[in-house]
Amino acid sequence: MTVLLDKPGATATTAAATTTATTATTATTVLPPRPADGNDAPEQRRGLGGVSRGEVLNLAGAAVTGLCTAVLLFGRLAPLSGALGFYVVAYLVFLGAYALLAWLEDDGPAVRDRLMTVVLWSAALLLFTGLVMVVVYTFWRGKDALPHLNFFTEDMTRAGPLDPISVGGIAHALIGSVIMIAIALAITIPLGVACAVYLNQMRGRFVRFVRTVVEAMTALPSIVAGLFVYATWILILHFPKSGLAAGLAISVMMLPIIIRASDVVLRLVPGNLTEAAEALGAPRWRTVWHVILPTARSGLATAVILGTARGIGETSPVLLTAGYTASLNADPTDGPMISLPLAVFTFVKSPEPAMIARGFAAAAVLMALVLVLFTIARVIGGRGPGQLTKRQTRRAARASRQDVARFDEMDAPVPSLFAPAGTPLPGENP
């Protein structure tokens, strides 16, 4: 390229700039040569799933090392004793030995990853073992009373402390628990979900105050809730002790749990769903009813499960507000009523083996009842967002066919008023 300038100094400067630009354009990045130290091999991809044979051997060897070390320390080398200390020392030595064996094969990040995986699996196994032991022990101690049919169909009116298990049962406690939880759920589900929607959809200082009150009520002792209902419902309003009063006391304990869990679930609903509904002109209440709540249905069912699990095991509020009875009372508005946890407490504190067996059997029935409630809640609210039932699918298909027919009628040609004479109308034969 030739550049004509009047000043001679400018010509040299322009030429130098052109040469520099050309050099910068043609320059390339050159990597320095790597030293031949044997590290030129490609890196191997680390496997994230499955368990290899070497890892199984490392776990087994570390476990044997921990067990042998604990046996030597607690039996031979040191004056140590106690089952808890034995297991703690064995586990710590196991972790150290496993980390050493993993370090011989992998680098630091892989060793830390394996070590944390073993710790988490150990914690999960410990918790699961504790749960299994509690369930198995409860059913084992109650195995003498569970096979008897009268245990589920009779109350304790004709049974005394010295009577055998073939006399009496927990029908009064089972029906009382169902009635109390039904009353509590009828109160807490609408109030809890409505309060969670309010906390999720509204803004302002009062919302912050309500949230603080709900969080404070979560740690409320159950005896305080029972005393509150006892003072207001029984002493001030002069209503008798009944299952309704116990249901009110249980609802006080369940309400903050359901509100907090439902609030967390509603926060997880994608905001674009709400924005799309409001962009189509839907009011806020219709958006909440038809978009937000159906989307969070599974999480709301889980919130109800958590609240039910908290309320179904309460004993002191029931004792203060419903009293104790050995006979069946199905009227929640009049007369004392007993629940399964209170029946378990009453049976177990007796020194008679038959009463203790009844208590453990009642506890097993209580756990089974919680499992049934959990299953029902999962069936009702277990479908995720967008998953329809068979009835909803048929309804949607029928609405789609009606829409297609309506669109076809709208697309049909309309006869013109200025068509020449003799022109056939749409749908007629020419």
What's the pLDDT at 102?
Answer: 85
pTM metric for this prediction: 0.68
Question: Looking at beta carbons, which pairs linking 93-102 to residues 24 or more positions away fall under 8 Å?
Answer: 93/65, 93/66, 93/69, 94/62, 94/63, 94/65, 94/66, 94/67, 95/62, 95/66, 95/119, 97/61, 97/62, 97/65, 97/66, 98/58, 98/59, 98/62, 101/58, 101/61, 101/62, 102/58
What's the pLDDT at 324?
Answer: 86
Q: Which of 291, 218, 300, 292 lies closest to 265, judged by CA?
A: 300
Per-residue pLDDT tens digits for 233-290: 999 998 989 999 999 999 999 999 999 989 988 888 888 888 888 888 888 888 888 8
What's the pLDDT at 3?
Answer: 44
What's the pLDDT at 166?
Answer: 86
What parts of the chain have a pLDDT lower than 70?
Answer: 1-28, 30-51, 377-378, 380-389, 412-430
